[in-house]
Amino acid sequence: MCTRTTLPEAFEFYIGGSVGPSLYVRLVDGRLLYEWASGGGYSGVVMEASPTPEEWARFTETADRLGVWGWEPEYVSAHSCCDVIYWHLRLEIDGRSIVARGANAYPGSQGAVVSKEFLAFRTAVERLLGRGP
């Protein structure tokens, strides 16, 4: 059962690159504004989600379980020269904060392979938007 109901003080997540889909999410006045795009651009269509305190609690518990607070500030792969997937995370909640980013590299992975931890985190973000499983 989720017990925390604290909303984040700050939340921003981006993942994308010069090709393929991208997602940009940011917290503004308690609401999540997000945009899906393709081909490295922006769609110009900003959507909104308003997760419940229980959904935020579930997200925070997932972040805890995945060890997000211990992620390194930067992940860079030797394969970061072409067709790069960039990501950025800024999260402040319950007195804790993390700012991390990567270029074709992810927490819990060697090289450019996306780790299970990072995939689970991205799924948790999409769930906050009402778009995940």
Q: What is the pLDDT of residues 68-77, one digit of tens each?
A: 999 999 998 8
Residue 91 lies inside a defined structural domain of this protein: yes
Residue 133 lies inside a defined structural domain of this protein: no
Q: Domain range for residue 115?
A: 10-128
- Count the domains in the chain: 1
The one-letter amino acid at 119: L
Residue 111 belongs to domain with CATH number:
3.30.1560.10
Residue 74 lies inside a defined structural domain of this protein: yes
CB-CB contact of 25 with 13 (8 Å) = yes
Residue 5 lies inside a defined structural domain of this protein: no
Cα–Cα distance, 46 to 59 (Å, whole number): 22
Residue 93 lies inside a defined structural domain of this protein: yes
Residue 1 lies inside a defined structural domain of this protein: no
Query: What is the DSSP pairing of strand 21-28 with strand 74-76?
Result: unpaired
Identify the band that residue 2 occupies on the pLDDT scale cut at 50, 70 and 90. Answer: very low
Residue 49 lies inside a defined structural domain of this protein: yes
For helices 53-66 and 116-128, angle between their N-to-C axes, nearest 10 degrees: 170
Beta strand spans in 19-95 (E):
21-28, 31-38, 47-49, 74-76, 85-93
Look-up of token digits 């072409």: 82
CB-CB contact of 27 with 91 (8 Å) = no
Cα–Cα distance, 126 to 133 (Å, whole number): 8
- The pLDDT tens digits of the residues spanning 80-124 come to 566 788 999 999 998 999 999 999 899 998 877 889 999 999 999
Residue 4 lies inside a defined structural domain of this protein: no
